Amino acid sequence: MSETTPLAIESLKHAPKTSGVEEMILRRWSPRAFTDRAVSAEDLKKLFEAARWAASSYNEQPWRFLIGRKGDATYNKIFDALVEFNQSWAKSAPVLILSVGEKTFAKNGNPNHHALHDTGAATANLALQATALGLHTHSMAGFDNEKIRKSLAIPADYEIGAVTALGHFGSVDTLPDPMKAMETAPRERKPLKEFVFSEWEQPAQF
Amino acid sequence: MSETTPLAIESLKHAPKTSGVEEMILRRWSPRAFTDRAVSAEDLKKLFEAARWAASSYNEQPWRFLIGRKGDATYNKIFDALVEFNQSWAKSAPVLILSVGEKTFAKNGNPNHHALHDTGAATANLALQATALGLHTHSMAGFDNEKIRKSLAIPADYEIGAVTALGHFGSVDTLPDPMKAMETAPRERKPLKEFVFSEWEQPAQF
C-alpha cells in the first residue's frame, strides 16, 4: 500500500526536477481522488485573484467563472452535465468550476478569437495558485456543452470552456478500479523537440 | 525621470500584494520596451519545460511553438506579419514566438475544441516561468494570421494562437511617444464580482 499513499503519489506525480524551473509548475498535476474537505472562502479568493492577473488580448479579460460548491444548485448543474466517466470520480470534489469566454470585445463587438486561449491562461494561473496552496485542480472537456449552457443560462455570446474540479488530494482507494492505475501512473509529456521548432517540425536548437 | 526607471516601472506594474497569492503571478506583466540582451539557450529551455507541464484535454498537448531569434529567418517572418503598431515596439524584443494548436486529436482525428484553450494555458506557464527568471513576455493577437501561416508553413490542421515577444525589460525612452504613457500606466483588472459568479452574473459570495 505504501506506493499509493497520497504522499507517495504526490512524489510520483512531480515532474522531473529541472534546475531553475519553478516548483509550482512541476508539482501541478490533475488528480481524480479528492477528500471531502471543503475549500475555504479565503483560498477561493486567492485562486480567482491569480486568474484575474493573467494576460489577455487587449486586456479584455474574456473569462467568466461559475463556481459550484457541493450541495448547491450550481454544483449539481455542472455535475449533471459531466459524462459518466467524469461523474464517477468528480463526485468527490468539493468544488466544480465552469469557465466560459466572451466571444466578442466589449468595447466594439468585434470577434475575440482568443477568448478561449485567454480563458485557458487564466485557468492555468488558477491551477498553479491552487498548487501553491496545497490544493489540486483537474480540468475536463468531457461534459455536455449544450446541457450546461442551458442549465446555467450561459448567453450565446460566451463560448463554453472547461469544467475544473477543485479540492484536496484524497485517497486512491476511493476511486473506481480502472482509475486507480491511472492515478498512480507516471506523468508523460512530449519531449521539447516535438513541440518547439525553429521552422515547422524542425526542432529548435538550444 | 525617476518614475520611468525600469525598477520604478516594475514596482508600479506589480499587482497589489494579496497575502497568499504567488509573487510570480502578481509580478507578471507585458512590457513593450526590451533591451537588446539575448535570451540564453538555458533560459529558453526552462521556459518551454514550464510550458510542457501545463494541463491539456486528454493530455493531448496540442501546442507547438515556433521560435525566432533576432537575425534569423523565423524571427523575420513572425515580425513581418505583425501589425504596424506591434512592429513599432516588438522590434526591440530579442525573441518572437508563435504558438499554434492542433485542431484534432492525434489518436482518433476527432476535433479538439480546447486546442487554443490549452495552448493559452501552456503560454501562461511560459510567461510565469519567464517572470521567475527575470524575463518578460508580451503576447499579441495583432498580426496577419494568413500571412504567418503561409510564411511559416503552418498546416491547415493547426489553429494560429499568439505571437509572444520575449526578452529583458528595457527603457521606456526607446518607445514611440504614444506608448510611453501606456508603459507607465497602472495595471487594471475587473474586480472578482464581475467574473466569478455563483449563478450567471450573480457575484459569488466568498
In a domain, B13, yes or no: no
Environment class of B188 (CB within 10 Å of its CB; exposed 0-12, middle 13-18, buried 19+): exposed
Q: How far apart are CA A65 and CA A119, in angstroms?
A: 9
pLDDT of residue B7 exceeding 90, the answer is: no
Average pLDDT over residues B180-196: 94
A8's grid cell: 507517495
pTM, full prediction: 0.97
Which tens digit of pLDDT belongs to each residue from B100-153?
999 999 999 999 999 999 999 999 999 999 999 999 999 999 999 999 999 999
Residue A175, domain CATH: 3.40.109.10
Q: Note which residues in 149-178 of chain B have CB less than 8 A from chain A.
A: 152-155, 161-162
Q: Would you list the DSSP string of A166-185?
A: EE-B--GGGS-HHHHHHHTS
A65/B195 CB distance under 8 A:
yes
In a domain, B145, yes or no: yes
| CB B98 within 8 Å of CB B66 | yes
pLDDT recorded at residue B147: 98
Which residue range is the domain that position B69 belongs to?
A: 29-170
In this structure, chain A runs to a length of 206
In a domain, B82, yes or no: yes
- Binned at pLDDT 50, 70 and 90, residue B4 comes out as confident
Q: How far apart are CA B10 and CA B172, in angstroms?
A: 12
Locus of grid cell 475544473: A164
Percent of chain A predicted with pLDDT > 90: 89
| CB B38 within 8 Å of CB B96 | no
Average pLDDT over residues B21-46: 97
In a domain, B18, yes or no: no
pLDDT of residue B73 exceeding 50, the answer is: yes
In this structure, chain B runs to a length of 206
In a domain, B20, yes or no: no
Percent of chain B predicted with pLDDT > 70: 99
A67/B18 CB distance under 8 A:
no
Q: Does A24 touch chain B (CB under 8 A)?
A: yes
Number of domains in chain B: 1
Question: To the nearest whole angstrom, how far is the Cα of B169 from the nearest Cα of chain A?
Answer: 17
pLDDT recorded at residue A1: 45
Average pLDDT over residues A132-161: 98
Strands A63-69 and B196-199: parallel
| CB B68 within 8 Å of CB A204 | no
In a domain, B48, yes or no: yes
In a domain, B112, yes or no: yes
Rounded alpha-carbon distances, angstroms, from residue A9 to A17, A111, A167, A194, B101: 16, 43, 16, 27, 30
Query: Residue A164: which H helix or E strand, with range?
Result: strand A158-167
pLDDT of residue A51 exceeding 70, the answer is: yes
pLDDT recorded at residue B1: 44
- Binned at pLDDT 50, 70 and 90, residue B2 comes out as low
- DSSP category for residue A155: -
Which tens digit of pLDDT belongs to each residue from A66-94?
999 999 999 999 999 999 999 999 999 99
